[in-house]
Amino acid sequence: MPTRIVLADDHVLVRQGLKSLLEREHFQVMAEASDGQDAVRLVEAHHPDIAILDISMPTLNGIDAARGLSRTAPKTKVILLTQHEEEQYIHEALEAGVKGYVLKNQVANDLIQAIRQVCRGEFYLSPGISRAVMEAYRNKSDRPADPLTVRERQVLQLIAEGKSTKDTASVLGISVKTAESHRMRLMQKLNIHETASLVRYAVRRGLIQP
């Protein structure tokens, strides 16, 4: 039985290329998503063996999608596709339960190997990433924790993407009052009270691309 995969990337051409690569290797692409929320919904519906997620997706980034799936679809192993080699991103991915971390500039060479290793219960890290980063994570370095909840990070990402409170409520399926409450709470936690500074924080945390 072929390995079953849900594939998520907001760029159609990238998705098509990845799907062709996977199908040549006889993997089964069960479904495709163009944003993080849709990716989570499809994984929860299909329960694939592997979810391949772009780290930077609209509405919900790959790391927070992985964090949610570790609770709602724990048998699905997540592989992140990313251009980020920085320690911060790798630590957050590991904390979110990600099993594979593949650099986009090496995806043609690395992705198939990553899938095979992850299916064997191993962790895969692209060779371009320093192993010292993994060691730092295992030794629990003193990187400051993100004070926000998953929902608050979602709201922050949508604010940083330029969504109004009403739009945020619509995307998340919550009331405008609840969206506003999340917005106020995250601003208080971060001690940030203007949108431009919230956007800069979201960029630093990898929620959106600069």
pTM summary value: 0.80
Query: What pLDDT does 131 receive?
Result: 64
The dihedral sign for the CA sequence 157, 158, 161, 164: negative
Across the chain, what does the average pLDDT equal?
88
Question: What is the end-to-end Cα distance of the chain in Å, rounded?
Answer: 41
Better pLDDT: 80 or 206: 80
Residue 56 tokens read as: 């930077």
Tell the CATH topology of 150-204.
Arc Repressor Mutant, subunit A (1.10.10)
Residue 202 confidence (pLDDT) above 70: yes
Residue 44 confidence (pLDDT) above 70: yes
Query: Rounded distance, CA 4 to CA 19, Å?
Result: 12
Tell the CATH topology of 4-138.
Rossmann fold (3.40.50)
Residues of the chain with CATH 3.40.50.2300: 4-138
Each residue of 95-140: pLDDT tens digit? 889 999 999 888 888 999 999 999 999 999 988 776 656 666 666 5
Per-residue pLDDT, averaged over 75-89, amounts to 88
Each residue of 52-65: pLDDT tens digit? 999 989 989 999 99
155 burial (CB, 10 Å; 0-12 / 13-18 / 19+) is buried
Q: Name the nearest CA neighbour of 171 among 193, 194, 146, 151.
A: 151
Residues of the chain with CATH 1.10.10.10: 150-204
Each residue of 132-165: pLDDT tens digit? 566 666 665 555 667 888 889 889 999 888 999 9
